[in-house]
Amino acid sequence: MVDVQNMNDDRQVPLHKVGVRNVSHPITVLDRDHRTQQSVAELDLYASLPHSYKGTHMSRFIEVFQRHADDIRMPRFLHMLDEVRHYLDSERAFGVLRFPYFMEKHAPVSGQASFLRYNCAFSGISSDEQREFFVTVGVPVTTLCPCSREISDRGAHNQRGICTVTVEVKDFFWMEDLIELVEGHASAGLYTLLKRVDEKYVTEHAYDHPVFVEDLVRSVTLALEEHFSFPWFSVEATNQESIHNHDAYAYVERGRPPLERPCNSIV
Protein backbone atom coordinates (compact mmCIF):
# COMPACT_ATOMS: atom_id res chain seq x y z
CA MET A 1 0.00 0.00 0.00
CA VAL A 2 1.09 3.56 -0.66
CA ASP A 3 2.70 5.18 2.42
CA VAL A 4 1.59 8.80 2.03
CA GLN A 5 3.16 9.92 5.33
CA ASN A 6 6.63 9.00 4.06
CA MET A 7 6.24 11.05 0.90
CA ASN A 8 8.51 14.05 0.51
CA ASP A 9 7.42 17.56 1.51
CA ASP A 10 9.30 20.41 -0.14
CA ARG A 11 8.07 23.34 2.00
CA GLN A 12 11.14 23.25 4.28
CA VAL A 13 9.14 23.51 7.53
CA PRO A 14 10.16 21.04 10.25
CA LEU A 15 7.51 20.50 12.94
CA HIS A 16 8.39 20.65 16.63
CA LYS A 17 5.53 18.38 17.71
CA VAL A 18 3.22 16.07 15.79
CA GLY A 19 1.11 13.37 17.36
CA VAL A 20 -2.07 12.46 19.19
CA ARG A 21 -3.96 14.28 21.95
CA ASN A 22 -6.61 13.39 24.53
CA VAL A 23 -6.33 9.64 24.07
CA SER A 24 -8.34 7.92 26.84
CA HIS A 25 -6.88 4.67 28.08
CA PRO A 26 -6.85 2.57 31.27
CA ILE A 27 -3.50 2.54 33.06
CA THR A 28 -1.84 0.94 36.07
CA VAL A 29 0.29 3.12 38.36
CA LEU A 30 2.24 2.40 41.52
CA ASP A 31 0.47 2.86 44.85
CA ARG A 32 2.46 3.26 48.08
CA ASP A 33 -0.11 1.50 50.24
CA HIS A 34 -1.66 -1.01 47.81
CA ARG A 35 1.23 -1.69 45.39
CA THR A 36 -0.73 -0.69 42.27
CA GLN A 37 -3.81 1.33 41.38
CA GLN A 38 -6.01 1.28 38.29
CA SER A 39 -6.90 4.59 36.69
CA VAL A 40 -8.03 6.10 33.38
CA ALA A 41 -5.62 8.53 31.73
CA GLU A 42 -5.76 11.19 29.05
CA LEU A 43 -2.65 10.94 26.90
CA ASP A 44 -0.85 13.46 24.68
CA LEU A 45 2.05 11.91 22.76
CA TYR A 46 4.20 13.71 20.19
CA ALA A 47 7.34 13.43 18.11
CA SER A 48 9.29 15.97 16.09
CA LEU A 49 8.91 15.71 12.32
CA PRO A 50 11.71 16.55 9.85
CA HIS A 51 10.85 19.01 7.10
CA SER A 52 11.22 16.34 4.42
CA TYR A 53 8.41 14.09 5.73
CA LYS A 54 4.82 14.82 4.73
CA GLY A 55 3.37 13.30 7.89
CA THR A 56 3.87 10.95 10.81
CA HIS A 57 2.32 7.55 11.51
CA MET A 58 -0.31 8.30 14.16
CA SER A 59 -1.12 4.65 14.83
CA ARG A 60 2.42 4.01 16.03
CA PHE A 61 1.96 6.34 19.00
CA ILE A 62 -0.95 4.22 20.21
CA GLU A 63 0.90 0.98 19.56
CA VAL A 64 3.84 2.06 21.70
CA PHE A 65 1.69 3.42 24.53
CA GLN A 66 -0.41 0.26 24.75
CA ARG A 67 2.76 -1.73 25.36
CA HIS A 68 3.48 0.40 28.45
CA ALA A 69 0.02 1.20 29.83
CA ASP A 70 -0.02 -1.71 32.28
CA ASP A 71 3.20 -0.56 33.92
CA ILE A 72 3.58 3.18 33.56
CA ARG A 73 5.98 3.67 36.47
CA MET A 74 8.10 6.81 36.56
CA PRO A 75 11.27 5.35 34.94
CA ARG A 76 9.28 3.50 32.28
CA PHE A 77 7.67 6.72 31.06
CA LEU A 78 10.98 7.83 29.57
CA HIS A 79 11.54 4.34 28.14
CA MET A 80 8.20 4.75 26.36
CA LEU A 81 9.32 8.09 24.90
CA ASP A 82 12.61 6.53 23.78
CA GLU A 83 10.64 3.87 21.97
CA VAL A 84 8.38 6.44 20.30
CA ARG A 85 11.41 8.37 19.08
CA HIS A 86 13.15 5.37 17.59
CA TYR A 87 9.98 3.79 16.17
CA LEU A 88 9.14 7.02 14.35
CA ASP A 89 12.75 7.85 13.46
CA SER A 90 12.39 11.20 15.22
CA GLU A 91 14.91 13.44 17.00
CA ARG A 92 12.61 14.13 19.97
CA ALA A 93 9.56 12.62 21.62
CA PHE A 94 7.25 14.27 24.13
CA GLY A 95 4.45 12.97 26.33
CA VAL A 96 1.88 14.09 28.89
CA LEU A 97 -0.24 11.60 30.84
CA ARG A 98 -3.02 13.10 33.00
CA PHE A 99 -4.89 10.84 35.40
CA PRO A 100 -6.94 10.87 38.63
CA TYR A 101 -5.24 9.28 41.61
CA PHE A 102 -7.07 8.24 44.78
CA MET A 103 -5.83 8.06 48.35
CA GLU A 104 -7.73 6.60 51.28
CA LYS A 105 -8.07 9.15 54.08
CA HIS A 106 -9.41 8.72 57.58
CA ALA A 107 -11.52 11.43 59.19
CA PRO A 108 -9.50 13.11 61.98
CA VAL A 109 -11.79 12.19 64.91
CA SER A 110 -14.25 9.46 63.90
CA GLY A 111 -11.69 7.63 61.78
CA GLN A 112 -14.22 7.06 58.99
CA ALA A 113 -12.44 6.03 55.80
CA SER A 114 -13.11 7.48 52.36
CA PHE A 115 -11.21 8.12 49.14
CA LEU A 116 -10.12 11.54 47.90
CA ARG A 117 -9.24 12.30 44.30
CA TYR A 118 -6.03 14.05 43.27
CA ASN A 119 -5.41 15.11 39.67
CA CYS A 120 -1.92 14.06 38.65
CA ALA A 121 0.26 13.98 35.56
CA PHE A 122 3.46 12.52 34.17
CA SER A 123 5.26 14.44 31.44
CA GLY A 124 8.62 14.20 29.75
CA ILE A 125 10.91 14.59 26.77
CA SER A 126 13.43 12.24 25.19
CA SER A 127 16.22 13.16 22.78
CA ASP A 128 19.93 12.49 22.34
CA GLU A 129 20.71 15.68 24.26
CA GLN A 130 18.15 15.52 27.05
CA ARG A 131 15.93 13.14 29.00
CA GLU A 132 13.67 14.97 31.43
CA PHE A 133 10.75 13.59 33.40
CA PHE A 134 8.23 15.49 35.54
CA VAL A 135 5.51 14.54 37.98
CA THR A 136 2.62 16.90 38.78
CA VAL A 137 0.21 16.55 41.69
CA GLY A 138 -2.81 18.77 42.27
CA VAL A 139 -3.75 18.76 45.95
CA PRO A 140 -7.15 20.19 47.03
CA VAL A 141 -6.92 21.98 50.38
CA THR A 142 -8.72 24.36 52.73
CA THR A 143 -7.22 27.78 53.41
CA LEU A 144 -8.44 30.30 55.97
CA CYS A 145 -7.67 33.99 55.43
CA PRO A 146 -5.33 35.45 58.10
CA CYS A 147 -6.55 38.98 57.41
CA SER A 148 -10.19 38.01 57.79
CA ARG A 149 -9.48 36.29 61.09
CA GLU A 150 -7.54 39.29 62.38
CA ILE A 151 -10.16 41.92 61.62
CA SER A 152 -13.40 39.99 62.26
CA ASP A 153 -15.13 39.74 65.62
CA ARG A 154 -16.85 36.49 64.65
CA GLY A 155 -15.21 33.87 62.50
CA ALA A 156 -13.16 34.22 59.32
CA HIS A 157 -13.73 33.37 55.69
CA ASN A 158 -12.14 30.28 54.26
CA GLN A 159 -12.19 28.62 50.88
CA ARG A 160 -11.29 25.53 48.99
CA GLY A 161 -8.10 25.85 46.99
CA ILE A 162 -5.68 23.71 45.05
CA CYS A 163 -1.92 23.56 45.41
CA THR A 164 -0.18 22.17 42.32
CA VAL A 165 3.39 20.94 42.55
CA THR A 166 5.45 19.92 39.53
CA VAL A 167 8.84 18.33 40.09
CA GLU A 168 11.64 17.19 37.83
CA VAL A 169 12.44 13.64 38.86
CA LYS A 170 15.83 11.98 39.07
CA ASP A 171 15.27 9.61 42.00
CA PHE A 172 12.18 7.57 42.80
CA PHE A 173 9.66 8.94 45.29
CA TRP A 174 6.05 8.27 46.25
CA MET A 175 3.38 10.70 45.08
CA GLU A 176 1.59 10.11 48.39
CA ASP A 177 4.52 11.64 50.27
CA LEU A 178 4.31 14.76 48.12
CA ILE A 179 0.55 15.00 48.62
CA GLU A 180 0.82 14.66 52.39
CA LEU A 181 3.55 17.30 52.51
CA VAL A 182 1.30 19.82 50.76
CA GLU A 183 -1.72 19.02 52.94
CA GLY A 184 0.38 19.52 56.04
CA HIS A 185 1.02 23.18 55.15
CA ALA A 186 -2.56 24.17 54.34
CA SER A 187 -5.07 25.39 56.91
CA ALA A 188 -6.68 21.97 56.69
CA GLY A 189 -6.99 19.02 54.35
CA LEU A 190 -10.12 17.93 52.53
CA TYR A 191 -12.10 14.75 53.16
CA THR A 192 -14.87 13.02 51.26
CA LEU A 193 -16.55 11.75 54.45
CA LEU A 194 -16.81 13.76 57.70
CA LYS A 195 -19.06 13.25 60.71
CA ARG A 196 -20.05 16.17 62.94
CA VAL A 197 -17.15 15.64 65.32
CA ASP A 198 -14.79 15.68 62.34
CA GLU A 199 -16.33 18.83 60.89
CA LYS A 200 -15.87 20.59 64.23
CA TYR A 201 -12.23 19.52 64.34
CA VAL A 202 -11.46 20.55 60.74
CA THR A 203 -13.18 23.93 61.13
CA GLU A 204 -11.31 24.76 64.32
CA HIS A 205 -8.01 23.44 62.96
CA ALA A 206 -8.32 25.71 59.92
CA TYR A 207 -9.10 28.69 62.19
CA ASP A 208 -5.95 27.96 64.19
CA HIS A 209 -3.79 27.66 61.04
CA PRO A 210 -4.64 30.59 58.72
CA VAL A 211 -2.65 30.87 55.47
CA PHE A 212 -2.66 33.12 52.43
CA VAL A 213 -1.82 31.60 49.05
CA GLU A 214 1.56 33.28 49.51
CA ASP A 215 2.06 31.45 52.82
CA LEU A 216 1.12 28.11 51.33
CA VAL A 217 3.49 28.42 48.37
CA ARG A 218 6.40 29.56 50.53
CA SER A 219 5.91 26.86 53.16
CA VAL A 220 5.60 24.07 50.59
CA THR A 221 8.71 25.36 48.79
CA LEU A 222 10.82 25.24 51.95
CA ALA A 223 9.50 21.79 52.86
CA LEU A 224 10.31 20.43 49.39
CA GLU A 225 13.86 21.73 49.66
CA GLU A 226 14.22 20.17 53.12
CA HIS A 227 12.83 16.73 52.35
CA PHE A 228 13.60 16.15 48.64
CA SER A 229 16.40 16.84 46.17
CA PHE A 230 14.57 17.67 42.96
CA PRO A 231 16.73 19.42 40.31
CA TRP A 232 13.81 21.76 39.59
CA PHE A 233 10.28 22.22 40.87
CA SER A 234 7.39 24.67 40.83
CA VAL A 235 4.64 25.34 43.35
CA GLU A 236 1.42 27.19 42.60
CA ALA A 237 -1.65 27.79 44.71
CA THR A 238 -5.10 28.96 43.64
CA ASN A 239 -7.85 29.84 46.09
CA GLN A 240 -11.47 29.85 44.92
CA GLU A 241 -12.33 32.88 47.02
CA SER A 242 -15.52 32.61 49.06
CA ILE A 243 -16.22 36.37 49.42
CA HIS A 244 -14.77 37.60 46.10
CA ASN A 245 -15.79 36.83 42.54
CA HIS A 246 -12.23 35.99 41.58
CA ASP A 247 -9.41 33.63 42.56
CA ALA A 248 -6.24 34.36 44.52
CA TYR A 249 -3.00 32.98 43.06
CA ALA A 250 0.70 32.56 43.87
CA TYR A 251 3.57 30.79 42.08
CA VAL A 252 7.26 30.04 42.57
CA GLU A 253 9.87 27.80 40.95
CA ARG A 254 13.27 26.74 42.24
CA GLY A 255 16.34 24.99 40.89
CA ARG A 256 17.88 24.68 37.46
CA PRO A 257 15.32 25.59 34.78
CA PRO A 258 14.51 22.56 32.61
CA LEU A 259 15.42 22.64 28.93
CA GLU A 260 11.85 21.73 28.02
CA ARG A 261 9.07 23.25 30.11
CA PRO A 262 6.69 20.65 31.55
CA CYS A 263 2.98 20.86 30.91
CA ASN A 264 1.51 22.04 34.25
CA SER A 265 -2.10 21.69 33.17
CA ILE A 266 -3.87 18.80 34.85
CA VAL A 267 -7.41 19.97 34.18
- Residue pLDDT, tens place only, 125-145: 999 888 999 999 999 999 999
Average of per-residue pLDDT values in the chain: 89
* d(C-alpha 15, C-alpha 106), whole Å: 49
Helices (H) and strands (E) in the chain, counts: 6, 9
pLDDT (mean) for 41-46: 94
CATH-assigned architecture of domain 4-255: Roll (3.10)
* d(C-alpha 166, C-alpha 164), whole Å: 7
Which of 42-46, 141-145, 154-158 bottoms out in mean pLDDT, i.e. has the lowest?
154-158
Q: Give the model confidence (pLDDT) of 174-231 as tens digits.
A: 999 999 999 999 999 999 999 999 999 999 999 999 999 999 999 999 999 999 999 9
Nearest to 190 by CA among 246, 136, 118, 241: 118
Where is 227: in which H helix or E strand?
helix 213-227
Q: Is 82 exposed, middle or buried (0-12, 13-18, 19+ CB in 10 A)?
A: middle
Which of 25-29, 47-51, 75-79, 93-97 bottoms out in mean pLDDT, i.e. has the lowest?
47-51
pLDDT at 84 over 50: yes
Phi, psi of 116 (to 5 degrees): -120, 140
Question: Are the C-beta atoms of residues 26 and 40 closer than 8 Å to each other?
Answer: yes
Quote the DSSP letter at residue 4: G
Any idea what the Cα angle at residue 212 is, between residues 208 and 216, rounded to 5°?
90
Where is 166: in which H helix or E strand?
strand 158-168
Please state the pTM of the whole predicted model: 0.90
